[in-house]
Chains A and B, each alone.
Chain A
Amino acid sequence: MIRSPNPFAQEPRYELITRVLRSNIQRGNLPEGLVLLEGPIAAVMQTSRVPVQSALRHLMAEGLVHRFEGRGYLVGPEGRNILPVRRDIREFALDIPEAMDDALQTRGTWRHVYEEVEEQVASCQIFGEFRIIETELSEYLGVSRTVARDVLARLQERGLIRKSATSHWIAGPLTARTVREKFELRSIMEPAALRLAAPFIRYAEVENLLEMIDSGSMISSESLSDALMDFCIAQAPNTTLVEMIRGNRLLLSSVNRALTALGLPNDEATIDQYRTLLDLIARHPIDSAAEYLRDHVEIMAQRNLARMKIVAVITEAGAFAPYLALQ
């Protein structure tokens, strides 16, 4: 069999969807004010909703779409009082390059399906300990056992699953202790990385974020957290450190997203803190920003521990994918 030379075949799905939506917005194929909903986009792209959610979050951080009072996102930048246009995305002639479309259809590589599995595996852990059944996973994803194994290997590498003594793949349980330890690591590593990053921080983007906050944009604390990572902390020239920080954050952020999806209230109280932090980064010596970041991470730890308690109210019914078996 000859492998396709398709350059997109190895890219994660959310990245492909982000590209398609970005170029269609920039070319004006998707008009300002159009309400973008996960479901219809997922149908057009023939994927699940998980990568669409990530793509929309990325586009929001880029200022191409924004949140509004209703469900979904509006095309166009925030703060111009753009009125929502509720039409089905399928009515618009979306430009999807053939190679991209092929890549979206391909089910042959692990990269492609990885993000979806990661989300599911991370989020189930709040409910307890799970066994991952390999045959069910390949069936669920419509991929070969080899691809399913590649996905599992990657999950293990990122610390999301482990092998039991009986050679079963195990995920979870996510406990308050895990959360506390991960935040402790954050408060050690992230301020250090921020100091190293000082000369390389993307200050224009930071200013842009400050403007968005000040103009009253409905930007979520989650996108601010992502932006802080991408534009500031991850600019540190020590790539090993940045990798460690990303790995450490992974479980926390996917659990956070899962909890919000399960109906927990969004944590909006921290927007002010992000504002102060970004302001310190942009206009003051980096040490003050690093100190503030450490305090901020400690407060976030307390908030997250409080959030972990309230999860107890949510019932498990129907909350996880079929390849996950509660132990």
Chain B
Amino acid sequence: MPQPPAPLASPPRLHQRRLRVRGTSITLLSQVRERAEADLGFSVDYELLDFPTCQRRAAMEPEGYDVYEQCFHNLDIVWFWGALQPIDIDRITLWGSISDLAKQGGISKYAWRGHGDAPVRKLYVQPGGFLGPKPSRYISMLPTVHNMDSFGYDPAVFGMSETVRPSWSWLLDKRAKGRIGLMDEPAIGFFDAALAAEAAGELQFADICNMTIEEINALMALLEDRRRQGYFCGAWRDGDQAARLVRDAHIAVQSMWSPVYGQLGPHPGDFIEAAPVEGYRAWHGGASLSRHLGGAALDMAYEYLNWWLGGYAGAVMARQGYYISTPDRSRAHLSPQEWAYWYDGAPAAKDLRGPAGEWVVRAGARRAGGSYRERASRIAIWNTVMDEYNYAARAWDRFILRVNSGRQAEEGAA
């Protein structure tokens, strides 16, 4: 027999619904979080970590988050650790609107495909729990934000005429000696250095995204030689460090991420974004579900994932120079001038603001590399976790440690 409800001593406390998101500075922006909370009616807690820490903790402590926002190449670690659960695309309302770059591996038949792991190669869950490009109902990560990265350079060093063709080889260029900055994440910075070595004609790799031990050793030996000669002045781990290096170390050339250009202040004319002749190093981000999610918490996570594709988040991403997998949905959330600058590659019709309202683009400026289509058609490689990643990452980390301790020694002396 059902019990009559007990009298209440005080009004019932509403259980606050919250979703915990672990990720990096790429997507964990307060402008996104606040709007998501307003639209969805539950709290969203952010845990913002640097790349290596984020990846380690996502793999080893999946109980600590509900949604994991990171890059596809990172799935080689976190998915195979067993920390995530498959996403059912039948529950993703805008699945059909996601662009072909994520689902096919290129924006058109004629676009460069790029070496390495295009996101589609890690997208679909295959029998046996492997990931692959063959479509299935379940995916590992919902494709969202992405970009084609390059480096920034000082035109006083490399020239500013129309005929100057920026090349990855500049990261090993004698003219920049002592003023070269690298990115420290082994699945990213390592490939910038590899592109530089190939472009400079120093080394050739049979498959740049799946190097042999000998090729890795050769690359590390080359880098160590340049380090001893004093080529590198530092390595950065997040956008703030990257901006600080450019300002304080008078960088001549450095691996860069788009938002950092906006952080450089009002006169970024002495440090400009390159559109390398060899093409870009691309990456694709997304959101995954923690293994432990179920029931109402899982429903909330799906609501959040669907919200991400809806347009608003993509517009915030655009203002820091990143693209979204459902650009047509974001267009409505951008002004025509913003859309023209960020997606069409047109000169800015007026000054433009970044995600936090700061001025990041001056009227008349034009995005390096042109429109989304032009940039996405020139992908040389994708960020990749290659077979010998464990070996390469350890060698790279030791190298970066030496680069940074050299820098600290210099700062100490000064």
CA of A305 to CA of B385, assembled, Å: 11
Least Cβ–Cβ distance between A261 and chain B, in angstroms? 14
Residue on B nearest A305 in the bound complex, by CB = B387
Chain B residues near A45 (CB, 8 Å)? none
Given contacts A306-B76, A313-B55, A313-B59, contact A128 B389 (CB under 8 A): no
A312 touches B186 (CB 8 A): yes
Chain B residues near A128 (CB, 8 Å)? 391, 394
Asked whether any CB of chain B lies closer than 8 Å to the CB of A63, the reply is no
CA of A126 to CA of B56, assembled, Å: 17
Given contacts A126-B390, A175-B213, A263-B60, contact A312 B129 (CB under 8 A): no
A265 touches B390 (CB 8 A): no
Asked whether any CB of chain A lies closer than 8 Å to the CB of B81, the reply is yes
CA of A306 to CA of B129, assembled, Å: 11
Asked whether any CB of chain B lies closer than 8 Å to the CB of A127, the reply is yes
Q: Specify which of B56, B129, B212, B213 is in contact with A313 (CB 8 Å cutoff).
A: B56
Chain A residues near B128 (CB, 8 Å)? 269, 299
User: What is the interface size of chain B, counting residues whose CB is below 8 A from a CB of the partner?
Assistant: 24
Asked whether any CB of chain B lies closer than 8 Å to the CB of A82, the reply is no
Least Cβ–Cβ distance between A31 and chain B, in angstroms? 35
Asked whether any CB of chain B lies closer than 8 Å to the CB of A308, the reply is yes
B80 touches A310 (CB 8 A): yes
Chain A residues near B60 (CB, 8 Å)? 263, 313
Digit string of B386-402 for contact with A (CB within 8 Å is 1, else 0)? 01111101100000000
Chain B residues near A263 (CB, 8 Å)? 60
B389 touches A309 (CB 8 A): yes
B77 touches A312 (CB 8 A): yes
A176 touches B81 (CB 8 A): no
Chain A residues near B385 (CB, 8 Å)? 309, 312
A308 touches B390 (CB 8 A): yes
Digit string of A307-327 for contact with B (CB within 8 Å is 1, else 0)? 111111100100000000000
B81 touches A264 (CB 8 A): yes
Query: Which residues of chain B from 126 to 166 have a CB within 8 Å of any chain A CB?
Result: 128-130
A306 touches B80 (CB 8 A): yes
Chain A interface extent, by class? 20 to 34
Given contacts A309-B76, A313-B59, contact A173 B391 (CB under 8 A): yes
Chain B residues near A307 (CB, 8 Å)? 80
Residue on A nearest B214 in the bound complex, by CB = A177
Chain B residues near A311 (CB, 8 Å)? 390
Given contacts A299-B128, A313-B59, contact A176 B76 (CB under 8 A): no
CA of A175 to CA of B388, assembled, Å: 6
CA of A192 to CA of B90, assembled, Å: 46
Given contacts A302-B130, A313-B55, A313-B60, contact A176 B80 (CB under 8 A): no
A177 touches B76 (CB 8 A): no
A175 touches B391 (CB 8 A): yes
Tell me the dominant secondary structure on chain A's binding face: helix
CA of A192 to CA of B119, assembled, Å: 39
Least Cβ–Cβ distance between B74 and chain A, in angstroms? 10
Chain A residues near B81 (CB, 8 Å)? 264-265, 310
Chain A residues near B388 (CB, 8 Å)? 175-177
Asked whether any CB of chain A lies closer than 8 Å to the CB of B82, the reply is yes
Query: Which residues of chain A from 275 to 327 have a CB within 8 Å of any chain B CB?
Result: 299, 302, 305-313, 316
Chain A residues near B59 (CB, 8 Å)? 310, 313
Given contacts A177-B213, A299-B128, A302-B130, contact A312 B389 (CB under 8 A): yes
Digit string of A66-107 for contact with B (CB within 8 Å is 1, else 0)? 000000000000000000000000000000000000000000
A310 touches B213 (CB 8 A): no
Digit string of A162-182 for contact with B (CB within 8 Å is 1, else 0)? 000000000001011100100
Chain B residues near A305 (CB, 8 Å)? 387
CA of A316 to CA of B394, assembled, Å: 10
CA of A126 to CA of B385, assembled, Å: 16
Least Cβ–Cβ distance between B117 and chain A, in angstroms? 11
Chain A residues near B76 (CB, 8 Å)? 306, 309-310
B394 touches A312 (CB 8 A): yes
Residue on A nearest B387 in the bound complex, by CB = A176
Chain B CB count within 10 A is highest, among A126, A269, A299, A309, for A309
B391 touches A176 (CB 8 A): yes
A127 touches B80 (CB 8 A): no
CA of A56 to CA of B276, assembled, Å: 59
Residue on A nearest B129 in the bound complex, by CB = A269
Chain B residues near A308 (CB, 8 Å)? 387, 389-390
Digit string of A252-270 for contact with B (CB within 8 Å is 1, else 0)? 0000000000011100010
Chain B residues near A173 (CB, 8 Å)? 391
CA of A172 to CA of B384, assembled, Å: 24
CA of A244 to CA of B329, assembled, Å: 61
Chain B residues near A175 (CB, 8 Å)? 213, 388, 391
Digit string of B66-86 for contact with A (CB within 8 Å is 1, else 0)? 000000000011001110000
| Known A177-B213, A312-B186; further 20 A-B contacts with Cβ < 8 A | A128-B391, A175-B391, A176-B387, A176-B390, A263-B60, A299-B128, A306-B76, A306-B80, A307-B80, A308-B390, A309-B76, A309-B77, A309-B385, A309-B387, A311-B390, A312-B385, A313-B52, A313-B55, A313-B60, A316-B394
**Ordered nearest first, which 3 A-B pairs have the shortest CB separation?**
A176-B387, A312-B390, A312-B393
Can you list 28 contacts pairing A with B, beta carbon distance less than 8 Å?
A: A126-B390, A173-B391, A177-B212, A177-B213, A177-B388, A264-B81, A265-B81, A269-B128, A269-B129, A299-B128, A302-B130, A306-B76, A308-B387, A308-B389, A309-B80, A309-B385, A309-B387, A309-B389, A309-B390, A310-B59, A310-B81, A312-B186, A312-B385, A312-B393, A313-B52, A313-B55, A313-B56, A313-B77
Give chain A's interface residues, CB within 8 Å of chain B.
126-128, 173, 175-177, 180, 263-265, 269, 299, 302, 305-313, 316
